């Protein structure tokens, strides 16, 4: 009999090539699978809710895997997995038994990403590698107006990486919220799914509006062009967090 388990994961993505296993470096998926192998004494393949890029962080990444045996002691098992992850900035923060047909990727109803900008001149210390520092003061009101154009069902080809393998560029963004507290600007995105580099590309374009490089009309023209070549430089990965996956 097989048992299907979900794990909730947080990690700092700085030293990883991304979520997915790759030949050119250490991935989050690879490190976790090795920890699971040491814990359960068998090969385990995990399926993640999404493939975060190199340098992107997670506060609530979700993944699932199958075992032939039932886990009897959740606390002890979590401790064992995290023991084998101690050399990496990865933590398994929850473990749940799910229905056999649960899939961390395809069962997801909503994914929530947050992008953190620190808008100040002084260099970063605590947030170094964990946020995008922008020294020029940003126009938050203009960024909010521009972000409203992205909400709803649209063709997001402009914000899609050339290497994106999705069959369709059509996505529905349910909500975007931009908030500022002192020098910290947080941009929150909610959608069932996103295209490769979509969030970082949208943030890059919103930044152009915020620093008055683009007008809101220019932002709309670029968005509606559906041409990747007109997109602003994507925001760097270190400011992006996969916050939560909802099922």
Q: Read off the CATH number of the domain in which 183 is found.
A: 3.30.70.660
Give the CA angle between residues 28, 243, 62 to the nearest 5°.
50
Residue appearing with tokens 């949208």: 202
Q: What distance in Å separates the CA atoms of residue 95 and residue 75, rounded to the nearest whole number?
A: 9
Select which of 53, 68, 127, 211 is catalytic.
53
Phi and psi for 35 in degrees, rounded to 5? -65, -40
Active site residue 127: no
pTM over 0.85: yes
Q: Are residues 92 and 115 in the same domain?
A: no
Q: Are residues 54 and 117 in the same domain?
A: no
Q: What distance in Å separates the CA atoms of residue 45 and residue 62, rounded to the nearest whole number?
A: 14
Helices (H) and strands (E) in the chain, counts: 5, 10
Q: What distance in Å separates the CA atoms of residue 103 and residue 84, rounded to the nearest whole number?
A: 25
Last-in-domain residue among 98, 132, 156: 98
Is pLDDT above 90 for 105? yes
Phi and psi for 176 in degrees, rounded to 5? -130, 130
* Residues spanned by the domain of 147: 110-246
Is pLDDT above 90 for 192? yes
Q: Are residues 197 and 221 in the same domain?
A: yes
Angle, in degrees to the nearest 10, between helices 216-225 and 198-210: 150
CB 13 within 8 Å of CB 58: yes
Q: Are residues 47 and 91 in the same domain?
A: yes
Q: What distance in Å separates the CA atoms of residue 151 and residue 240, rounded to the nearest whole number?
A: 19
Q: Are residues 90 and 184 in the same domain?
A: no
Q: What is the pLDDT of residues 17-48, one digit of tens each?
A: 999 999 889 999 999 999 999 999 999 999 99
Q: What distance in Å separates the CA atoms of residue 171 and residue 151, rounded to the nearest whole number?
A: 10
Q: What b/e string do you get for 147-185 counting C-beta neighbours within 10 Å, with b at 16 or more?
A: beebeeebebbbbbbeebeeeebebebeebebeeeebeb
Task: Give me the number of domains the chain comprises.
Answer: 2
CATH number, domain with residue 28:
3.30.70.580
CB 130 within 8 Å of CB 238: yes
Q: What's the pLDDT at 1?
A: 86
Whether 104 maps to a domain, the answer reads no
Q: What distance in Å separates the CA atoms of residue 155 and residue 158, rounded to the nearest whole number?
A: 8
Q: What is the pLDDT of residues 76-88, one digit of tens each?
A: 999 999 999 999 9
Q: What is the pLDDT of residues 1-20, one digit of tens each?
A: 899 999 999 999 999 999 99
Q: What distance in Å separates the CA atoms of residue 102 and residue 46, rounded to the nearest whole number?
A: 12
Average pLDDT of every residue of the chain: 97
């Amino acid at each position: 009999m097989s048992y299907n388990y979900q794990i909730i994961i947080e990690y700092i993505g700085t030293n990883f090539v991304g979520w997915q296993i790759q030949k050119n470096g250490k991935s989050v998926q690879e490190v976790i699978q090795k920890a699971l192998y040491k814990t359960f004494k068998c090969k385990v393949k995990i399926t993640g809710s999404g493939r975060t890029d190199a340098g992107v962080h997670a506060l609530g990444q979700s993944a699932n895997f199958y075992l032939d045996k039932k886990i009897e002691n959740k606390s002890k098992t979590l401790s064992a997995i995290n023991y084998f992850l101690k050399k990496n900035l990865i933590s398994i923060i929850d473990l749940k038994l799910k229905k056999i047909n649960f899939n961390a990727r395809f069962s997801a109803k909503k994914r929530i990403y947050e992008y953190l900008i620190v808008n100040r001149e002084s260099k970063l210390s605590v947030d170094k590698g964990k946020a995008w520092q922008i020294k020029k003061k940003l126009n938050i009101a203009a960024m909010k107006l521009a972000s409203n154009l992205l909400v709803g069902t649209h063709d997001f080809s402009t914000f899609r990486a050339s290497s994106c393998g999705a069959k369709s560029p059509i996505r529905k963004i349910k909500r975007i919220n931009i908030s500022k507290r002192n020098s910290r600007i947080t941009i929150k995105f909610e959608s069932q799914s996103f295209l490769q580099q979509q969030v970082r590309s949208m943030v890059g374009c919103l930044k152009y509006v915020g620093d008055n490089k683009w007008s809101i009309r220019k932002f709309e023209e670029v968005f509606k062009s559906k041409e990747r070549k007109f997109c602003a430089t994507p925001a760097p990965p270190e400011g992006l967090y996969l916050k939560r996956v909802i099922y």
